[in-house]
Every structure is written in C-alpha cells, then in structure tokens.
Amino acid sequence: MTTFTVPIDNGDSVKIAEEESQRTLYPYVTGTSIVAIKYKDGVLMASDMGGSYGSTLRYKNIERVKAIGKHSLLGASGEISDFQEILRYLDELTLNDNMWDDGNSLGPKEIHNYLTRVMYNRRNKFNPLWNTLVLGGVKNGKSYLGMVSMIGVSFEDDHVATGFGNHLARPILRDEWHADLSFEDGVKLLEKCMRVLLYRDRSAINKLQIAKITEEGVTVSQPYSLKTFWEFSSFHNPTAGAEGSW
Amino acid sequence: MTQSSVDLPPKGGFSFDLCKRNDMLTQKGLKAPSFLKTGTTIVGLIFKDGVILGADTRATEGPIVADKNCEKIHYMAPNIYCCGAGTAADTEAVTDMVSSQLRLHRYQTGRDSRVITALTLLKKHLFNYQGHVSAALVLGGVDITGPHLHTIYPHGSTDTLPFATMGSGSLAAMSVFEAKYKEGLTRDEGIKLVAEAICSGIFNDLGSGSNVDICVITKGHKEYLRNYMEPNPRTYVSSKGYSFTKKTEVLLTKITPLSERVEIVEVAGEAMEE
C-alpha cells in the first residue's frame, strides 16, 4: 500500500494510505478447457474436474459445468472464484425473474446476452472476470450454444471450445461434427476431443464429466476417466538401433 | 595509443557484439526487421515399411504470405529427408550444411548415411548457437538399422517418436494424430493420415496454408510427392476464366447529334463572367 503525508491545520502531518485500486491482474486457481457441441436433442458439454494453482494440480473435484434455471448449462474455464461469482449473479438474476411469477423463464439466449454485458462492462473497467464461458441450452425445441470470453467477445456456434481446446479440439470438431448427431455419437466425439486434451494439455486431468441438456432438462454425468494408450513400440524402446542416444 | 597490428583469428561461435547496439536501438523505438518465417505445419509418422513426412507450403513474412508454394521437405541423403519450421533461411542453411557433411561422410566411410548421424550433426550445430538458429526440424529416414523419426528443437534437444508434429500448426496436426494414429499402418493409410494432419494445419492455423507435400521413405526407395494435394485452388467466378477480345471492337455506328437531346437556351445579356 502506497502512503503519502498530508499537512493538516495544527502544523502536524498525517500519513494517509492511498486506496490501492483492486482489480484482477492474473488468475490464481484456474480450470482448463471446456468442449461443447449441439446434437440432435440439445447440447452436450464436457469438462474435466481439475483446478490448477499455477503449476500445481490443487483441486481435483471442481464442477465446472452448472445448470442455470431450467433451460441452460454454463461451463467455465479460467479463474474459479470468478466463476463462482458469476453463478451468484445468475442466481440473483433467475431469482428476480422468478419473482415476477408470470410463467416465463430465462432462456439460454437471454442468459448469454446478460453474461456478455457483464463481461464486457467489467473489461471496460480494466477489472475483468477472468473466465471464458460456454452457455448451452434448449428452449421451445431450439438448441443454443454460445461463448463469451473475458474481454467480452461473444458468439454462437454449433461447436465451441475454450483454452487449449481451441487448438486441439476445434480441428477435430470442424472435421467431424455434423448436424443431428445421436447422443452416443456426440459423447464419442467429445471423448475423442477430451482424450487429445488429456494427452497434450498439461493442466488436464483424467476425471471428466459430460453434461447434457435437452427439452426435458439437465443431466450431469458422474465423473469418469478415459482409457489411454501408451503401448507404442517406440515408447518402449526409443533408442532402438542407437543405444545411448536420446 | 597504437592498436595491435596482429590479426587475431575470429573466435568460433556466435558473435554477440551487435546485440547491445540492437537493444539500444529497440529501446529508442526502432522496430527490428521481421524474419521470413515458414509459419508451418510439418509432420512425420512411422508406418509399417518406413517413414512418411508431410509439410504445408506457405512461407509468411509477418502477416503476409511471401511464398505460396515453397518446399519445406529438404533432402539430406538418398534415404533421409528433413522437414523444417521456423526461420526459412535457418532451416535451408542448416539442412544444406548437414546434407553436405553427410555426403562427405558417405564418401569417407563407403556406407549409406544413418539417421542418427544426421541427428547428431544437426543437434550439435543448433546447441552451439544456443537457440539463435531458429530451426525446428522433423527428421525422418530409413537406414540399415530400420526406420527412424526424430524432432529437433532450436535449442538442440531431440526426441525419438512414432509420430511427430512441429510448427505453428503442430497442435492442429497433433490432434489428428493423437486421435487416429495406430501402429503398423499401411502406405496408403499412412499417406492419408499425414495428408489429413497437414490439412488440419492448413485450415485451422493461419500460419499454414496452400498445398500438401508428402515424402515416403522405405528401405532402399523414396518417393517425393510434391504438391500431393492442392486443397486451395484458384477459383474464378466463371468456370471458363476470363477472356477479352484482343482488338478494338466497333460497338455502334449510329451518331446522335447532341443538340437533339439537349435544350439550348440563349441567354440575353452578359455571357459568363470572367
């Protein structure tokens, strides 16, 4: 805290602490990628359950995908405390909306818009919520999938990915996603992406949840792990034919 | 004060004399010239009978595409090829240099070159220059000891892998490999997978683009498939292209005197003022 001295009437001077502006400079506990796709009956969203504290894997049981109201799923990567704050804001929002008691409920499009406004306004004050959010949902038979970043970039698409998923999962999704995927095919596609992320993202852990939202409602699966393959002959004996090399 | 007149031989290694001057200039606001980089997606994989290397063909200078169809798969020996990512001059020079060294070595030993020889020569050179020679390479070949695939990083570290990707498009290509690679692929399966990985880089990475080059190396035989795939052809609005008549054409011989179309009003008094 920087302090400065101020002269006061009786000739003495007083040390006054300047209020340090409090704003987010860097994230502390972070979640890694989220991958989500639209499928036949709605939206599927996958995330792992890890919360990293810098380069330590501190928390292994963080749910980074939550249901919002009746019609939406929110997944977040980035700072976990900011995600919890956003959940509080959305709680307030849905509560206030409920109090009107008019039979209407907030759909995914409205929540996405609200989040975009919140994120963009925070960035304009140089105090961002350090998250990339994925908003998926179904209302009146129409599925919706969108994304908002910490600087307020917001868009809708048939498949989205955050963080490392942008580089590793998006190429696979662009190639292999098609409209009207069945539930099994959708899960297989998401697992394919999550497996590549598990191999190649250092902050990924092998404990993931897949959440599904359809007209009927939200289901979040129990945590499970993926099978990985390490039995390449090159891995067993990398210096075959060149003993002692590396 | 007299200077010594003895010419000392230059010490080996990189001369860091100008670095202080460059630092001072950048602090004063001078932007350093950007290097011609290859952006790039380069890949390699080991299949049943040997090694397949693949590369895209775009060379970038900052945000501009400098060369739409450059060659990134360099010849090292009849049985060894090397893909290069990073600064184009560095990859060209270093692969050329080691290729010459390998040839001289072949003359001296009377034997075919081995992949680890090329590997050791390259990593020695790159480590010596402490990462300033910005060349990231995928080296592959088949020698008497079998097929080998290595990656070499600019600082001089190497890896021996069954499948490898380097360059800005390496993540896009690696996601294809991690999802689809198996051991014991046939030649056609291997080529298809390499082409898929390079295409993934071409379409998902801005630093990579244009065409796919492939090189298949097996025991005693190599195939350099330049522009194996061209997924970004030039397209025209009309399928016939454009054709313009070469001579001046007379369009109309009817002459319409303008006075018929225009009403001319005589203004009495002064004409236009000067």
Measured torsion, CA atoms of residues B254, B255, B261, B266, in degrees rounded to the nearest 10:
-170
* Assigned token pair, A171: 């190429």
- Measured distance CA(A105)–CA(A96) in Å, rounded: 11
* pLDDT given at position A140: 92
Residue whose pair of structure tokens reads 């606001």 in the numeric block: B29
Candidate from A196, A232, A238 with C-beta closest to B179? A196
- What is the value of pTM for the model shown? 0.79
For chain A, 246 residues long, the average pLDDT of each consecutive 10-residue run is: 55 49 84 96 96 94 94 95 96 94 92 97 93 96 96 96 95 95 96 96 95 94 94 83 69
* pLDDT given at position A15: 47
Question: Residues of A with CB below 8 A from B158's CB?
Answer: 246
Helix axes B88-109, B115-128, angle to 10 degrees: 130
Other C-beta atoms closer than 10 Å to the C-beta of B55 total: 32
> Do the beta carbons of residue B201 and residue B56 sit within 8 Å?
yes
Helix axes A183-200, A165-176, angle to 10 degrees: 150
Taking only the tens place, the pLDDT of each residue in B71-113 is 999 999 999 999 999 999 999 999 999 999 999 999 999 999 9
Residue whose pair of structure tokens reads 């570290």 in the numeric block: B157
Question: What is the layout of strands, in order, in the sheet containing A208-214?
Answer: A159-161, A34-39, A42-48, A208-214, A218-220
Q: The complex's ipTM?
A: 0.80
Full set of structural domains in chain B with CATH = 41-229 (3.60.20.10)
> Do the beta carbons of residue B165 and residue B157 sit within 8 Å?
no
Q: Which positions 156-185 of A are in contact with B (Cβ < 8 Å)?
A: 164, 167-172, 174-175
Candidate from A167, A239, A240 with C-beta closest to B171? A167
